[in-house]
Amino acid sequence: MGKTYDVAVIVGSLRKDSINRKVANALSELAPAGLKLAVVEIGQLSMYNQDLDDNPPAAWTEFRARIKAADAVLFVTPEYNRSVPAALKNAIDVGSRPYGKSAWNGKPGAVVSASPGAVGGFGANHHLRQSLVFLNVPAMAQPEVYIGGADKLFDESGKLVNEGTRKFLQGFMNAYGAWVEANLRA
């Protein structure tokens, strides 16, 4: 990787002690040298309302500009009721509007889901991928990442302590780096 790519990381959970934020931090530490990951906050975004598109809230404008400036996107999300959290869906909607001016368009992406449950957010992962198809975000298909039992993988300071998971996520990040580079060269 000759260039450094700016990756906007969207964490679906707003919780202060979010497992998914811990996963995002671990992914950042494991990223190859050519990827610079930065979490883009979504909790400040008011609910999307098309009536506001002519005079959008400052938080929407800043969010859209940040996503547009990124080379790629990485979503790290829990599963709520077999789908993504409302805050994440709202961020997707805010970034995709006004119609025809989507900030997401063409950005190579990937989805990671983590949960204390056994299936690791499988439903949210796949539901999010459906939206990414519409948004023209080429989402990396393999390796898939569903991290079950994620509440037991970190120490009290939020550091990933499970070596098997670390090795798996390192492989994922290497594949994602190649995916970003290949899609931005195309």
Token digits for 158?
A: 């939020």
Q: Is the pLDDT of residue 36 over 90?
A: yes
Band of residue 70 on the pLDDT scale cut at 50, 70, 90: very high
Q: How many domains does the chain have?
A: 1
State how far the Cα of 51 lies from the Cα of 149, in Å rounded to an integer. 42
* pLDDT one-digit tens code per residue, 104-154: 999 999 999 999 999 999 999 999 999 999 999 999 999 999 999 999 999
Q: Domain of 123: which CATH number? A: 3.40.50.360
Domain carrying residue 14: 5-185
Question: Letter for the amino acid at 71?
Answer: D
Unique residue bearing structure tokens 């906050």: 41
Cβ neighbours, 10 Å, residue 98: 12
Paired residues of 77 in beta bridges:
113
Please give the model's pTM, rounded to 2 decimal places: 0.97
